[in-house]
């Protein structure tokens, strides 16, 4: 039984994959909290798809996919920020225009290439088992930079997330903070591409934070729980994919989804079972939260 659990981790490629999913888990878990609290899931999806042509161009040039993906992630974040400043262009519209245009550009670029189909799968669905030691170090360095920036402006981002009107009133540069958050989300998506791929990355950014949101009403606790759930999903999913001979990225996402469903059903205060029991008892328990730790309805 012990060998059954330890055997996968004796291989170098599994050790590198484990390191990658742990780093990506922390990053997605923490940054994803602001995606969930701000209702930015659509933006996260758009960013994941908008970096696709950058990935393709980098691949065609024989360069690291991170270079092109970062370039298009930066263009997308800045483009959404600038376009949505117009009163006649909503943020959703700006996202839709850029996302569709960039993803279409990626499709056009692929259509011009021959013999690309085999590698296309790893770009879309990830190839965490193929990461190199250098890839792991790059992910770690970028992840640390993103988290340092995030925690440096945590108070400001928190206020903007919960009450942007108050943030403007006290003089915070709300537009700059919004663009910064988009850039942090974009960087998170880019460094996570190899773990779960272009299509599944949104799930890793949204699902663990959504699970944590069911378990707590305090932001810092939510960030810790989200990172923990994301890391656990990575480890369990990686282990399951090894023994079941399934795609690692997809298995990790399904594991994260399973944890979300458990939280949805059994969360102590906000789960479906807790709600059903409260209704049966005929009373509702009232919570009092610190205003800075509560999501604005």
Higher pLDDT, 130 or 255: 255
297 pLDDT more than 50: no
Higher pLDDT, 19 or 113: 19
Q: Give the model's pLDDT for residue 6.
A: 74
Q: Is 19 exposed, middle or buried (0-12, 13-18, 19+ CB in 10 A)?
A: middle
Higher pLDDT, 22 or 11: 22
Q: Give the model's pLDDT for residue 283.
A: 54
**33-42, 107-116, 251-260 — which one is most confidently predicted on average?**
251-260
| Dihedral over Cα of 274, 279, 281, 284: its sign | positive
107 pLDDT more than 60: yes
Lowest mean pLDDT among 32-36, 113-117, 258-262, 293-297: 293-297
Q: Give the model's pLDDT for residue 287.
A: 54
Q: What is the pTM of this model?
A: 0.82
Q: Give the model's pLDDT for residue 117.
A: 57
For residues 32 and 206, the answer to whether their CB atoms sit within 8 Å is yes
What tokens appear for 100 in the block? 């569709």
% of the chain at pLDDT higher than 70: 89
Average pLDDT for the chain: 83
How confident is residue 179, by pLDDT bands cut at 50, 70 and 90? confident
Residue among 167, 142, 42 nearest 94 (CA): 42
**What is the CATH T-level fold of the domain 2-293, as seen in this structure?**
ABC transporter involved in vitamin B12 uptake, BtuC (1.10.3470)
Q: Give the model's pLDDT for residue 290.
A: 52
């Amino acid at each position: 039984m012990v060998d059954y659990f330890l055997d996968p981790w004796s291989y170098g490629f599994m050790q590198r994959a484990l390191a990658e999913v742990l780093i990506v888990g922390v990053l997605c878990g923490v940054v994803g909290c602001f995606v969930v609290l701000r209702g930015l899931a659509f933006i996260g999806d758009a960013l994941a798809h908008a970096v696709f042509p950058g990935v393709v161009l980098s691949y065609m040039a024989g360069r690291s996919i991170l270079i092109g993906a970062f370039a298009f992630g930066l263009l997308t974040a800045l483009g959404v920020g600038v376009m949505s400043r117009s009163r006649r262009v909503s943020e959703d519209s700006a996202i839709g225009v850029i996302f569709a245009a960039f993803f279409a550009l990626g499709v056009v670029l692929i259509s011009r290439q021959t013999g690309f189909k085999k590698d296309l799968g790893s770009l879309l669905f990830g190839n965490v088992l193929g990461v190199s030691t250098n890839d792991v170090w790059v992910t770690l360095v970028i992840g640390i930079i993103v988290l340092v920036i995030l925690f440096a402006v945590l108070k400001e981002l928190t206020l903007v997330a919960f009450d942007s009107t108050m943030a403007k009133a006290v003089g915070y540069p709300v537009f700059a903070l919004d663009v910064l958050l988009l850039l942090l989300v974009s960087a998170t998506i880019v460094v996570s591409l190899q773990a779960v791929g272009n299509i599944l990355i949104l799930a890793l950014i949204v699902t663990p934070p959504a699970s944590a949101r069911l378990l707590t009403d305090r932001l810092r606790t939510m960030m810790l729980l989200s990172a923990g759930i994301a890391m656990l999903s990575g480890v369990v999913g990686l282990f399951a994919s090894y023994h079941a001979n399934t795609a690692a990225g997809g298995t990790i996402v399904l594991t994260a989804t399973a944890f979300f469903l458990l939280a949805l059903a059994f969360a102590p205060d906000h789960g479906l079972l807790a709600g059903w029991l409260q209704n049966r008892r005929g009373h509702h328990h009232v919570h009092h939260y610190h205003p800075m730790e509560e999501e604005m309805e």
